[in-house]
Structure 1
Amino acid sequence: MNGGNKLDKKLYDPSNPEPHVMYGLYTKPELIKSEWIDPKWFNSQQYAAVVAYMNKLPGDVDTLELQDGFDTAHPGVMSAADWQYIMTSDFGTSRFDWWVGKLKRDYFRSQLIKAAQAYSEEPSEDNLTAMMVASQNATAASQTVTESTIADLAADMEDKMIHGAADNGIKTYFTLNNILGGGLMPGRLLTIGARPGVGKSAFAVNLIIEALKQQPELTIDMFSLEMSNAENYNRLLACKTGISAGKFINPQKSLSDAEKVEVEKAGNVLKDYRLQLYDKQVELPQIVKTMRQRAAEAEKGYLAIVDYLD
């Protein structure tokens, strides 16, 4: 929407956070000081202009002072009818914080989608970096913000020193666990970068096997944008049995009777794990959606591996 255009009535879709946030700010301008609200989060350039104006106000104003002051500073941007639309777009301010959170989440998710599309069209290092930053921002925007006093934090540290800290890390290799402070911790995004052919995919498969060996009830997803599910399953079998994955191309002829028994045992173990392989989901938004659903359903920890973003 171009600045100066009248507000589109579609903006007042009940699921759209923008009019709800503006209702709160218009009826209680002091809410602008309750938390940072970035003008760039708004699709409406009119709303963005109002929020930018409010962020610069030196003191408290009431509703009439806000409207008069903005109209004087930015004549023609908001009409009387536009202000009236805001007044009739909501019924209260009790959920103001929630609507601000949704506004922020929607913005960063849209930025992630744009970054993923840009990388898909041109898989450059700059676009990859931009996509990873957008992913981290979207994840951070979705997390609940908590506030703690120094006294609270000091008491928590004293409790940990006496009773020990809760260890929620996913355990894999001993050295890696130590480096990461106890394992793969919740909410972390780890990126492994190396030249093609050095073993990143093989490492990912070995990491899965090691994690499941130590925590069999984990839920794990592996999204492969390079290899098929069958190829990754063969690698999993190779890790479990020590048999070369090349033999699984034609197992009837390549495997000895003893090896076939080992493969059958390994298959029975693997199928009991909460492990899912994906080789058809190539769009990042689709992968993220699946991760969120599976993580919400996981009861004993969740690990997702994407191999690889290209």
Structure 2
Amino acid sequence: MNNYELEKTIIAALLNDFDKAQTTHLNSEWFMIDDFKKIFEILNNFGSRLDGIMELFAKLQAESKGQGINYERLLDIQKGYLVGTSLDYLANELHLAFLRLQFSKLTAEHSKFPTKKTEAQMLEILNIMNKLSRKQNAGDLEETFKQLEYELEHDVDTGIKTFSCLNYALGGGLRPGMLVTVGARPSVGKSAWAINLIDRAFDNNQEMKIDLFSLEMSKKEVFERFVAKNGKIDTYYLSQKNRMLKAQQKDDVRKVIEKFKNRDFKVYDTVSELNHILGIIKERSSSCENGKYLAVIDYVGLIKVNNNRDRRLQIEQITRELKNLANEYQVPMIILSQLSRGVEQRQDKTPMLADLRESGSIEQDSNVVCFLSNEETEKNHEGYQRVKFSIKKNREGDLMDATFKFYKARMDFSEEFK
């Protein structure tokens, strides 16, 4: 379908339901044909307040001073509407056509007068085009070709930076579309590890949006861990803040609060149903550039599904839908998972992929599977215990082991470099 036919088909659908001009994601600048652009603008401004196609025609005549489309042609377009037309799909196609034209203009401009601004605009358009292609499940590779050709001549962001060991293993950081699972037995510190990861992500990019779905702890419990980590305050003293904290420590708490007031960070402690979680991620990530959004779920075993299927099948549904969403919306996700008791019954207590609880789909759907396990069961005289971090599956690179120092009293993970 050429651009003229595409625009005409969209207008035909709108002429049969004026309200759709306001409820469908369309923009007048995407239309190249002046008559169609004017029709859309009037429908978008007035919608069902128009008393039929005759009033629409009168407004068109007034705006074009009698030089626009004639009434018979307007009726012909309206009659050409095909029942069952997917207006959302056509709107996406129109948006893509507009972006391709903009990208071609910028490419020509950049070849003559290369600037950082033009380069940034080209990358932004490519990211939007890729999102739109995934949204409508387009099978062609046109946008992929453009992306690869662009990357041959321009540096691109290699992902959200968090822990150095994870950045290295992933070839730069958490990239769009990644589903990363972190498994551990209870009390090893996987929730604290996730809090440290979020903190590092923000430190490297304060413009990010991060959502934490905390299915075990309340917002207050979660944020107190951020306070302990950032303020270097023992969590024991946070239980009676007024009595147990010194004046300087109270000031430190206030500084942490101010720090997070300026960050786009949300904690959902009452959202546990899968569709609700998916809806929030879609809404929050849809307005973000690639690499500017991260979702963390603590933990996958507590997500609810509204059906009576076996729990193993429910987990398969959960991981499959999370992975599909990561791909479609091009966002990275971290999901925490509890390991089965079998790991404690073995002589070698090193976690394995088979220890992921309830379903093999967690391993199958994840790009990366990591484990946390205690190297030391008790903290040493310096106040920390060593926690082993192992990557046992990695579609993005090599497997690896690293060691963290976990200061449990203040919920702080730091990498141990050898």
Tell me the alpha carbon deviations over residues 142-197 of structure 1, each in whole angstroms, 9 at most, x when there is no partner: 56335237xx85x8656534433x11511112221121122111122111112111
How far residue 235 of structure 1 moved from its aligned partner, in angstroms, is 0.5
| 3-state SS of 1:239 partner | helix
| 3-state SS of 1:267 partner | helix
**What are the ranges of 5 or more consecutive residues in structure 2 without an aligned counterpart?**
1-80, 93-132, 303-418
Name which of 194, 211, 233 aligns with 2:201.
Answer: 211
Aligned twin of 2:237: 247
Contact (CA 8 Å) 1:221, 1:277: kept in 2 or not? yes
- Specify whether residues 258 and 296 from structure 1 end up closer, same or farther in structure 2 by C-alpha distance, changes over 3 A only: same
How far residue 234 of structure 1 moved from its aligned partner, in angstroms, is 0.2
Name which of 141, 146, 150 aligns with 1:148.
Answer: 141
User: In structure 2, how many angstroms separate the alpha carbons of the residues matched to 1:297 and 1:247?
Assistant: 40
1:197 aligns with 2:187: yes
Contact (CA 8 Å) 1:168, 1:186: kept in 2 or not? no
- Specify whether residues 92 and 225 from structure 1 end up closer, same or farther in structure 2 by C-alpha distance, changes over 3 A only: same
Aligned twin of 1:307: 298
- Specify whether residues 143 and 240 from structure 1 end up closer, same or farther in structure 2 by C-alpha distance, changes over 3 A only: farther
User: In structure 2, how many angstroms separate the alpha carbons of the residues matched to 1:142 and 1:167?
Assistant: 22
Contact (CA 8 Å) 2:89, 2:136: kept in 1 or not? no
User: In structure 1, how many angstroms separate the alpha carbons of the residues matched to 2:284 and 2:170?
Assistant: 24
How far residue 94 of structure 1 moved from its aligned partner, in angstroms, is 6.5
User: In structure 2, how many angstroms separate the alpha carbons of the residues matched to 1:276 and 1:159?
Assistant: 34
Contact (CA 8 Å) 2:158, 2:171: kept in 1 or not? no
TM-score, normalised relative to structure 2: 0.39
Give the partner amino acid of 1:295.
S
Tell me the alpha carbon deviations over residues 96-123 of structure 1, each in whole angstroms, 9 at most, x when there is no partner: 9949x9xxxxxxxxxxxxxxxxxxxxxx
Aligned twin of 2:253: 263
**Higher normalized helix content (fraction of residues):** 1
- Percent sequence identity over matched residues? 36
TM-score, normalised relative to structure 1: 0.51
How far residue 296 of structure 1 moved from its aligned partner, in angstroms, is 1.6
| 3-state SS of 2:183 partner | coil
| 3-state SS of 1:217 partner | coil
How far residue 95 of structure 1 moved from its aligned partner, in angstroms, is 4.8
Contact (CA 8 Å) 1:222, 1:305: kept in 2 or not? yes
User: In structure 1, how many angstroms separate the alpha carbons of the residues matched to 2:159 and 2:137?
Assistant: 20
| 3-state SS of 1:237 partner | helix
**What are the ranges of 5 or more consecutive residues in structure 1 without an aligned counterpart?**
1-89, 102-139
1:171 aligns with 2:164: no
- Specify whether residues 96 and 210 from structure 1 end up closer, same or farther in structure 2 by C-alpha distance, changes over 3 A only: closer
Tell me the alpha carbon deviations over residues 202-249 of structure 1, each in whole angstroms, 9 at most, x when there is no partner: 011001110011101100111111011100000011121111222211
| 3-state SS of 1:198 partner | coil
Name which of 184, 188, 192 aligns with 2:178.
Answer: 188
Give the partner amino acid of 2:198.
I
Give the partner amino acid of 2:285.
A
Contact (CA 8 Å) 1:281, 1:287: kept in 2 or not? yes
- Specify whether residues 143 and 198 from structure 1 end up closer, same or farther in structure 2 by C-alpha distance, changes over 3 A only: farther
Name which of 197, 201, 215 aligns with 1:225.
Answer: 215
| 3-state SS of 1:232 partner | helix
| 3-state SS of 2:297 partner | strand
Name which of 224, 227, 230 aligns with 1:237.
Answer: 227
Aligned twin of 2:265: 275
| 3-state SS of 1:249 partner | helix
User: In structure 2, how many angstroms separate the alpha carbons of the residues matched to 1:260 and 1:168?
Assistant: 38
How far residue 141 of structure 1 moved from its aligned partner, in angstroms, is 7.7
User: In structure 1, how many angstroms separate the alpha carbons of the residues matched to 2:233 and 2:288?
Assistant: 31
| 3-state SS of 2:221 partner | helix
